Amino acid sequence: MKLNPRVTELALYDIKGGPGVAADIGHINTKSVVTGYQPDADGLKNALTGAEIVLIPAGVPRKPGMTRDDLFNTNASIVRDLAKAVSDAAPDANVLVISNPVNSTVPICAEIFKSKGTYNPKRLFGVTTLDVVRASRFISQHKSTDPADENITVVGGHSGATIVPLLSQSGYSLEGKDLDDFVFRVQFGGDEVVKAKDGAGSATLSMAMAGARFAESLLKAAQGQKGVVEPTFVDSPLYKDQGIDFFASKVELGPNGVEKIHEVGKITPKEQELLDACLKDLKKNIDKGVEFVKSKP
């Protein structure tokens, strides 16, 4: 975000070390002003006040053998409390949730904002960009193409079977093991990193790129650029009739956040099978987030 010329001020908050990271990043020679905060002296409130975009990557990452849902017990309350602070200090901001499990932490934010009367469904986003980034990289490795030219739609949510790449929409027709391997790699790309880091965490560098890409898209759209489309996990009408209030599909962004939510569109029978499995898991993940706020507001 410090490299992004559209950013005027970057306010960094962490329970520890915010000012140190800010001093470090602040030396990068772009114009934005960087400030760092920690919990003392109203740090969180001061970091949030006036923010147009709030990126939330706070919480614990996975270790080998864990699912993202295993992070729920720790991260749910962290995200809940940050959402309360956002609601108080930056109620009109676009809120971009990175903290896992995204399928549950986004509904947690929504429930908190509803309870405080500040919910704007057009301004709450689960960041699923890394799945899209991976899908374009992995297909380019398979087909020996330039990933910059690849744009694979990924819908659903952000964990295992809820991640549904729609290769057919980009004109690809992988079959059999090739298709299964590709889908598996996109669905479990995060696990590749967790395994390779061997207990030292999960994706951070590719995540930083993906989070910054999504925020850049929002900034472009806020500044009037038309046709900015990113898949993202939002309050969506697409599967509400099945009791699923949040879903990631292609979303056109605008000055008010969500401008238009695209339908999933034409998919193959195999992709439909993946989507059916996704919706089952997604409902459970979303309900878990909603229940958490009800029981531990």
Which residue ranges make up the site for ligand NAD (CB under 6 A)? Answer: 13-16, 57-62, 71, 75, 78, 82, 98-100, 102, 127, 130, 158, 201-204, 207
CB 144 within 8 A of CB 136: no
Q: Which lies closer to ligand LMR via its Cβ, residue 100 or residue 236? A: 100
62 is in an annotated binding site: yes
Confirm whether 158 is a catalytic residue: yes
Span of 51-59, 114-122, 187-195, 251-259 interacting with ligand LMR by CB under 6 A? 187-195
213 is in an annotated binding site: no
Span of 30-38, 44-52, 177-185, 189-197 interacting with ligand LMR by CB under 6 A? 189-197
Closest CA to 182 of 241, 135, 130: 135
> Which listed residue (27, 142, 158, 262) is catalytic?
158
Q: Is 210 in the site for ligand LMR (CB under 6 A)?
A: no
80 is in an annotated binding site: no
Q: Is 100 in the site for ligand LMR (CB under 6 A)?
A: yes
* CB of residue 248 to ligand LMR, shortest distance in Å: 13
Q: Which residues are annotated as a binding site for NAD(+)?
A: 14, 75, 98-100, 207
- Which residues would be at the binding site for ligand LMR (CB under 6 A)? 61-62, 68, 100, 130, 190, 193-194, 202-203
- Tell me the catalytic residues: 158
